Amino acid sequence: METNQIKLLNSLAKEIKTKKKDKTGIIITLQSAKILTKQGNFTGKFNNLNRIVITAK
């Protein structure tokens, strides 16, 4: 990767880290990444994450 691309990706990562996250925004992001279904369940590939979420509550 070129140096400018690496710098851009690093700055985007820092910006994402500093943004305040709310539950709705996180759910929408996970749905758009096909990790969650519209009903809020994990998709087949990510079903094992359900164990982590259940124990974290």
For the stretch 11-56, pLDDT in tens is 878 887 888 878 888 888 889 999 999 998 899 998 888 888 766 5
What would the two tokens of residue 56 be? 């974290």
Position 43 scores a pLDDT of 92
Position 47 scores a pLDDT of 87
Position 57 scores a pLDDT of 52
Quote the pTM value: 0.56
42 three-class SS: strand
